[in-house]
A and B are shown apart, each in its own frame.
Chain A
């Protein structure tokens, strides 16, 4: 019996490959978008006490305090009521981008605050402007510290992208869901789904661990 189902499962492999393409595409696009949003908002948020940083902490709280599933529903179902109709793919990328941006914002702003203030003061006394100090001196050090956490966040992003299967995008998870309707061997089908995610995420997790080891020694000894 298992052999028969295995052959059937092999027949639906093309769908899984396509699903993997969709998962990778969505994750990659929102990873790039989320990083851009996250770094910009992170820099703005690291200035504590300003109006901007308060607004941004509301944004971060909202994104961290509600499930991604609900955020996806809000973007996919509510925005059309205000005349902003989006395809499933666009809605998925937009909501994942905004979601990832909030977490990256937290990581970046925490790393900026962890850079000793003497660094910025030294720049200012050398006659650099505040922007120069941030871009040339503080940010490179902060991003170095943030790198392991950022890679960890990318893994979470890839995993959270499985939720977009709910609005009808055929990613790996939905490919599995569609297959299990015809091949009633849940263990086998979702085992395969798990293997595909594992193949994408596990190297990234190892990379994150490696970066952490590399940057945690001999760094920031003042």
Chain B
């Protein structure tokens, strides 16, 4: 296998790969922040108990969860111009990623909130907190602590999902591989390097999850 493998080409294209990795990293980071905002809003609406807010949130979450990201991406990519909204591919991609991941984040948060004992809310009510204070000062911080491991899992999914953005010609890691493949016709060098770089990101995030879980068990048992 190694005789097929041309390391010189990989080295020559390293700046391209690094640029791709850099773009993937910051697109993912913006996507994660965006999905946290979307997810928090959707989750707050869903559990608010007000039908007028909860119904659209439920519809949004269910629709996103039962359609593929690629279809959502194309929906925005081809759909926004016909509404007269002109944005570049990168913005479209980040918006699609944020909304897609946001629906999953909302569900993760909801599960985390369900795990909080009812006494916490009752105590906050007893202190005279209103509904926003209860949500933002009491429920949300605890929900975040409960949900950090699944959130990091979602972050891993988001990094991988960002590969789909290459299909609307956003420059990122997979796109770098495609460029090398189309310029030199060397799929092994291109895509195995791309896979290795994604694995690098994956192991970093997985390590973070493990580290956090270790600290939490120590913190809780102490």
B199: shortest Cβ distance to chain A, in Å? 4
**A205:B62 contact, CB within 8 angstroms:** yes
Determine the distance from Cα of A4 to Cα of B61 in the docked complex, in whole angstroms. Answer: 32
B211 in contact (CB, < 8 A) = no
Map CB proximity to A onto B1-31 as digits: 1 under 8 Å, 0 otherwise.
0001000000000000000000000000000
Chain A, residue nearest B66 (CB): A201
A interface secondary structure, majority = helix
**A173:B71 contact, CB within 8 angstroms:** yes
B181 in contact (CB, < 8 A) = yes
Chain B, residue nearest A204 (CB): B66
Contacts of B48 in A (CB 8 A): none
Size class of the contact patch on chain A: 35 or more
A156: shortest Cβ distance to chain B, in Å? 9
Contact of A166 among B67, B81, B160, B167 (CB under 8 A): B167
A149: shortest Cβ distance to chain B, in Å? 13
**A186:B80 contact, CB within 8 angstroms:** yes
Contacts of A202 in B (CB 8 A): 62, 66
Q: CB within 8 Å of B: which of A165-194?
A: 165-166, 172-173, 176-177, 180, 184-187, 189-191, 193-194
Map CB proximity to A onto B98-129 as digits: 1 under 8 Å, 0 otherwise.
00000000000000000000000000000000
Contact of B174 among A64, A70, A77, A173 (CB under 8 A): A70
**A162:B68 contact, CB within 8 angstroms:** yes
**B66:A70 contact, CB within 8 angstroms:** no
In this complex, how many residues of chain B approach chain A with their Cβ under 8 Å: the count is 44
Contacts of B81 in A (CB 8 A): 186
B17: shortest Cβ distance to chain A, in Å? 13
**A176:B177 contact, CB within 8 angstroms:** no
Contacts of B198 in A (CB 8 A): 65-67, 70
Chain A, residue nearest B199 (CB): A65
Contact of B71 among A64, A65, A155, A193 (CB under 8 A): A193
B interface secondary structure, majority = helix
Chain A, residue nearest B24 (CB): A67
Contact of B166 among A66, A69, A161, A172 (CB under 8 A): A69
Determine the distance from Cα of A197 to Cα of B75 in the docked complex, in whole angstroms. Answer: 13
B203 in contact (CB, < 8 A) = yes
**B67:A159 contact, CB within 8 angstroms:** yes
Contacts of A74 in B (CB 8 A): 187, 191-192, 195
> Assuming A67-B174, A70-B198, is B78 touching A186 (CB within 8 A)?
yes
Chain B, residue nearest A80 (CB): B187
**A64:B70 contact, CB within 8 angstroms:** no
Contacts of A61 in B (CB 8 A): 199, 202-203, 206
> Assuming A61-B202, A190-B74, is B191 touching A73 (CB within 8 A)?
yes
Determine the distance from Cα of A64 to Cα of B157 in the docked complex, in whole angstroms. Answer: 8
B34: shortest Cβ distance to chain A, in Å? 19
Contact of A186 among B68, B79, B161, B192 (CB under 8 A): B79
B65 in contact (CB, < 8 A) = yes
Contacts of A177 in B (CB 8 A): 74
**A81:B188 contact, CB within 8 angstroms:** yes
A96: shortest Cβ distance to chain B, in Å? 13
Determine the distance from Cα of A67 to Cα of B164 in the docked complex, in whole angstroms. Answer: 9
B221 in contact (CB, < 8 A) = no
Contacts of A191 in B (CB 8 A): 75, 79
List 13 additional contacts besides A66-B198, A158-B68, A186-B80; criterion CB under 8 Å. Answer: A61-B203, A65-B160, A66-B194, A67-B161, A70-B198, A74-B192, A82-B4, A162-B70, A163-B70, A173-B70, A177-B74, A193-B74, A205-B65
B-binding residues in A (CB < 8 A) = 61-62, 64-71, 73-74, 77-78, 81-82, 155, 158-163, 165-166, 172-173, 176-177, 180, 184-187, 189-191, 193-194, 197-198, 201-202, 205
Interface CB pairs A-B, < 8 A, 29 = A70-B163, A70-B191, A70-B195, A73-B181, A73-B191, A74-B191, A82-B4, A158-B68, A159-B66, A159-B68, A160-B68, A166-B167, A173-B70, A177-B74, A180-B74, A180-B78, A186-B74, A186-B82, A187-B75, A190-B75, A190-B78, A190-B79, A191-B79, A193-B67, A198-B63, A198-B67, A201-B65, A201-B67, A202-B62
